[in-house]
Amino acid sequence: MVMMLQCSICIWIFLWPSAVCLSPPQNVSVEFLDFQGRVHWLAGAGNTNHTHYSVQIRALSESWWQPCNRSDPVAMVCPLENPLDDLFKNYNVRVRAELEGQKSDWKYLENTVQPYSDTVLSAPGLSLWVENQSLCVLLHHPAQNIFKLYNITLLKNVQEHNTTIMTDSASISERVFRNLSQDHTYCLLASANHYSLRRHMIAQGCVNLTSHRPDVGFVKVDHGRVES
């Protein structure tokens, strides 16, 4: 009887660390693209691929935590509800690991996030065409009802070197550039602008006015490469 009790104690001591040592997630971060947020994290030390995760978000002005709806409980990423109730509020996020009834401690973001100031804006859709020897521009963006301005830079290519013709920020999405030299290639760089310090993605499109005769009424160029 004593021997059986000793064996039971040994087995309990041996199994106890694995039952309670579920590590919390590491490197919790949030990224925003076009005001849509995604939470990312890394697995804690020793946690298996079968570990589930719970994610919660809370505005600093509120007292309750809101769960993040997840379709894949083991994936180490979670899209936040979009749009969040208030893009100008500061939010905190926490994540914990769960496995077979065990739960780790919560792992919190090191700093709060604000969807409006922390977002990166994708490159706008850019269309260029020549009409009556003028360069016409049309911009569109999926979040243009939230931000107010587009940054636009017009370049002229002279002997394989770009010269800046103009740089402007405007709320309008359509522009027409007239009185341009007809024997050069012009490129337009465009990005969304919402008064943040983030570097947003840039769309670029180019058109050669030399190749368009006066009798050509409409030539459309799809937006070019996107840079970050």
Residue spans of the chain under pLDDT 50: 1-19, 213-228
What tokens were used for 163? Answer: 């010269």
Radius of gyration of the chain (CA): 27
Which fold would CATH assign to domain 23-118?
A: Immunoglobulin-like (2.60.40)
Q: Which CATH code fits 121-227?
A: 2.60.40.10
pLDDT of residue 167: 92
pLDDT of residue 196: 76
Domain boundaries, the chain: 23-118, 121-227
**Taking a C-beta distance cutoff of 8 angstroms, is the pair 209, 133 a contact?**
yes
**Taking a C-beta distance cutoff of 8 angstroms, is the pair 26, 107 a contact?**
yes
